[in-house]
Structure 1
């Protein structure tokens, strides 16, 4: 290929991330200190068995994580659930899945900035929440535009610091327990007031803490050896997060047995109250810093993954391609997609955290359900051409995972469901316009299983050459339009 031809090629994402970096992005997305923030709510809902609720949530989310790992292994492409659905179901369904999870990916940066800004405003009340929103969104947007290397380094430092502060809090709790022996070490796991229904309901709430493990799949085209590292990262994020959340909740439940926090609403600030009990007011202020640091790291990671989904959908042409579907030649980042997510902070200025969270849960659990279904569809399509596809791994576990995520969808508030289905209806209308009432195919780039663009004979005037029929036992590779490659 000549230098002139190379220069004319559009810039693409570059593979710069290793396994530790991808895992760090996933953990930052989930926010390690979140367990301290929602502990009181989980303890009340589970009747004093918060660690069991987190354990149930970990198991439930692990089923879906295994499905994401399988899909990421077979299709190391940044489109995540959007691409899997397009490839294994059909293009219109894939579009609607992508549109649905935009609620998660597009609005979650806004939520991360909003939560962090509320914390900062509580610590420094002279500066209003809207000012903190602008500062947080501006900083993460600038870092993500400058380049992936800077984003990786900043995220790694902040994630390590946030985990350190959580572990420091656990250390103070253990010292407190040395001087205040708990009456029972098993009561936090199960006690006379515990019920299966209560723990299940608490597990559904705790499952929201795991949103973001799937986001590492959006980094597939920027990860070295993505077929191996992305599946590992997806599972590691859930396992590490699950162990951390469960262990911290167990220690906190030992420090504060039961689920009585004194007055109504006190469970909302139980983590801060426990920090005062075990370390004093000054220490509590420092642990509050863990939430602030984790919030910034989460905003950075969330915006990074959100911009990659926008970029992938723009590259396909289902979103404006010139704006979303291009990569800056110098920074190797989709700067306009990053900038667009940064502008979402203006939407968050007029919202409360409860309303903001209702935007994201519908999209997340819809995406989780579809990915589980995609694994089953992959098994049905490939069972005759790929060896090693077990019924347990590719049918039973994904089916159970889909049932769990559908149940989680039913547990969402009426507000979340109204917002979700309204957004989905808007996406359907957009799809009708794009396809002129389904008289045209859904726009897409023709990509192979690694995300590389394939030439399209039909649209580029190149005579189509039929591919040879595969011999027995040879994998049957089909492109996005169902044609053999």
Structure 2
């Protein structure tokens, strides 16, 4: 049992993984490789020459959010992460809403990651022989999931280490392309420093879109039961992971905008910007490194997300919010085995549906990405309310600093949420948005019902949980 109501996992009481592996777990959930390989195009449509500035400003904002979440992690270490933080600092109903939306959001990411990995493996294989079809992608995705599931089942120290090295390889692939780009084009681009051309309205839209690239740092808190000195290590890792990926985002945004100044197709219209850059510098074979980067990043994200969701399930089951069935750990490896098996089964069923119905992979990724993004916005917004609320109740020395941070970050988070929901997106993204709203409302009214007729259930969320 962990002081403050958290729970522990594993055969020992806390020193299973080191700080570098904890950092790798958080970065793998952020999946920084997706930004230069895919999502930068969405930001560049509005950011133009100042795309790097959008990522820099949002990096500062998300560092402030990470500080807020880190304060909660220091006071309430738990594998339930924001589920338990918000229950203790704000209200158990807020914790319930955060817990279920986190699980649903991460589950969306987990469902999309193996398929996205299969898609990029297929693209990489095309450099050597022709392969195509949903069957190939689904088959590779199933292999991704099964290997990641086996590593997660064997132990957090093994899966975190694998995730760390895979993520390092992914980033190195992209850095290699970036270095080749600078060698070819040079590093000077006066247009990106000509602030007389900066327009506020387009930059504001770029800020909104770039925010979601940073989501996932809070998953470091899910390993509170398996990390030595979790009260100090986890808050540091949250902030450090945002700072490090922020630097990577800013550098890659600058380099890609610089390169696309020499390419007829605008960066905002490119579906595969790194591949386009590779062709522009006369080495199209470099595009394979972009595909390998995304393929390996998808694998590390699969491992990290399995670890995160399984521990949220474990924690919420221990606090009586979901069936006790999930509050069980493997005798041999000390991992939440039941939760991992259920998660693997759900994702396998989802892959079968995608394959049999021939659903486009990128539409699946877009639909699940919408849900995951909304989940991030909600939990970060709640954290910015909960942290100053808790610190003022405790008369903590940091209470005014926390309030200032909240006054800066909360309005932007609300703005991003409003823009994401209205006008309502069409297609799968719109359906995902409506489903997210419905989920939040159901959990909220469920919590109100417990408050009125089953208050002991809410009280149980706040007490310490003994291991089985």
RMSD, aligned CA:
2.6
Q: What is the CA deviation profile of residues 329-358 of structure 1, one whole-angstrom value per residue up to 9, with x for unaligned ones?
A: 211100111222223323353562211212
Q: Which residue, 286, 290, 298 being the options, matches 2:289?
A: 286
Does the aligned pair in 1 maintain the 2:105–2:375 contact within 8 Å? yes
Indicate the larger mover: 345-354 or 146-155.
Answer: 345-354
Q: Which residue of 1 aligns with 2:19?
A: 19
Structure 1: gaps (5+ residues): 1-8, 455-485
Q: Which residue of 1 aligns with 2:235?
A: 231
Q: Which residue of 2 aligns with 1:467?
A: none
Does the aligned pair in 1 maintain the 2:53–2:250 contact within 8 Å? yes
TM-score, with normalisation over the residues of structure 1?
0.82
Q: For 1:49 and 1:82, locate their aligned partners in 2 and report how far apart those are by CA, in whole Å.
A: 36
Residues 447 and 276 (structure 1 numbering): CA distance in 2 closer, same or farther, change over 3 Å? farther
- How far apart are residue 28 of structure 1 and its match? 1.5
Does the aligned pair in 1 maintain the 2:123–2:291 contact within 8 Å? no
Q: Which residue of 1 aligns with 2:180?
A: 172
Does the aligned pair in 2 maintain the 1:14–1:332 contact within 8 Å? no
Q: Which residue of 2 aligns with 1:417?
A: 433
Q: Which residue of 2 aligns with 1:347?
A: 350
Q: What is the CA deviation profile of residues 363-412 of structure 1, one whole-angstrom value per residue up to 9, with x for unaligned ones?
A: 111100111111111122100xx4x33412x2111232222222221121
Alignment of 1:81-480 (within 5 A): 81-123=82-124, 124-125=131-132, 127-178=135-186, 185-190=189-194, 193-257=197-261, 261=265, 266-278=269-281, 280-322=283-325, 324-345=326-347, 346-347=349-350, 349=354, 350=359, 352-383=364-395, 386=396, 388-392=397-401, 394-413=402-421, 414=424, 415=430, 416-428=432-444, 430-431=446-447, 437-438=453-454, 440-442=456-458, 444=460, 447=463, 453=466
Does the aligned pair in 2 maintain the 1:275–1:287 contact within 8 Å? no
Q: For 1:340 and 1:280, locate their aligned partners in 2 and report how far apart those are by CA, in whole Å.
A: 44
Alignment of 1:46-57 (within 5 A): 46-57=47-58
Does the aligned pair in 1 maintain the 2:149–2:344 contact within 8 Å? yes
Q: For 1:34 and 1:135, locate their aligned partners in 2 and report how far apart those are by CA, in whole Å.
A: 21
Larger Rg: 1
Alignment of 1:31-42 (within 5 A): 31-36=31-36, 37-42=38-43
Q: For 2:153 and 2:51, locate their aligned partners in 1 and report how far apart those are by CA, in whole Å.
A: 39
Does the aligned pair in 2 maintain the 1:13–1:222 contact within 8 Å? yes
Secondary structure in 2 aligned to 1:331? coil
Q: For 2:322 and 2:204, locate their aligned partners in 1 and report how far apart those are by CA, in whole Å.
A: 39
Does the aligned pair in 1 maintain the 2:10–2:225 contact within 8 Å? no
TM-score, with normalisation over the residues of structure 2?
0.85
Q: For 1:441 and 1:354, locate their aligned partners in 2 and report how far apart those are by CA, in whole Å.
A: 36
- How far apart are residue 160 of structure 1 and its match? 1.7
Does the aligned pair in 1 maintain the 2:87–2:96 contact within 8 Å? yes
Q: For 1:13 and 1:427, locate their aligned partners in 2 and report how far apart those are by CA, in whole Å.
A: 32
Residues 80 and 342 (structure 1 numbering): CA distance in 2 closer, same or farther, change over 3 Å? same
Structure 2: gaps (5+ residues): 1-8, 125-130, 425-429
Indicate the larger mover: 168-177 or 269-278.
Answer: 269-278
Q: Work out whether 1:62 is the aligned partner of 2:69.
A: no
Does the aligned pair in 2 maintain the 1:112–1:299 contact within 8 Å? yes
Count of aligned pairs: 433
Q: For 1:171 and 1:10, locate their aligned partners in 2 and report how far apart those are by CA, in whole Å.
A: 42
Does the aligned pair in 1 maintain the 2:275–2:286 contact within 8 Å? no
Q: For 1:81 and 1:24, locate their aligned partners in 2 and report how far apart those are by CA, in whole Å.
A: 19
Residues 411 and 271 (structure 1 numbering): CA distance in 2 closer, same or farther, change over 3 Å? farther
Indicate the larger mover: 28-37 or 371-380.
Answer: 28-37
- How far apart are residue 42 of structure 1 and its match? 1.8
Residues 141 and 434 (structure 1 numbering): CA distance in 2 closer, same or farther, change over 3 Å? farther
Q: Which residue of 2 aligns with 1:481?
A: none
Q: For 2:366 and 2:446, locate their aligned partners in 1 and report how far apart those are by CA, in whole Å.
A: 28
Secondary structure in 1 aligned to 2:334? coil
Secondary structure in 1 aligned to 2:32? coil
Q: Which residue of 2 aligns with 1:460?
A: none
Q: What is the CA deviation profile of residues 60-85 of structure 1, one whole-angstrom value per residue up to 9, with x for unaligned ones?
A: 21121110111111122222111111
Indicate the larger mover: 363-372 or 99-108.
Answer: 99-108
Q: What is the CA deviation profile of residues 99-144 of structure 1, one whole-angstrom value per residue up to 9, with x for unaligned ones?
A: 2222222221112223222222334425533222222211111110
Residues 23 and 47 (structure 1 numbering): CA distance in 2 closer, same or farther, change over 3 Å? same
The structure where helix makes up a greater share of residues is 2
Q: For 2:70 and 2:263, locate their aligned partners in 1 and report how far apart those are by CA, in whole Å.
A: 37
Does the aligned pair in 2 maintain the 1:318–1:434 contact within 8 Å? no
